Amino acid sequence: MQVLIWGGAGVVMLGLAGLIHCARQALQAKSLPDAEARALMQRVVVWNLGSMGVAVLGLMTVVVGLLLR
């Protein structure tokens, strides 16, 4: 079960890294013209949802590993 816990923690870290990347991109969009900012934010929203999904899957894996421990 240690593999599930540590593997899930690694997946959570990947999701958090994606969320940090999304935050940096969103801050960068402030300095862009309106049309470019909109296009960038549309891409950021997709990556944000994906990163959240990855983080949630990792957390579920950690919880399963803890329950089976």
pLDDT tens for 4-22 read: 999 999 999 999 999 999 9
| Contact partners, residue 14, CB within 8 Å, separation at least 6 | 54, 55, 58
pLDDT tens for 6-62 read: 999 999 999 999 999 999 999 999 999 999 999 999 999 999 999 999 999 999 999
Domain count, the chain: 1
> Which pLDDT value is given to residue 13?
98
Task: Give yes or no for residue 69 having a pLDDT over 90.
Answer: no
pTM of the entire structure? Answer: 0.87
Question: Rounded distance, CA 69 to CA 66, Å?
Answer: 5
Q: Provide the domain limits for residue 63.
A: 2-68
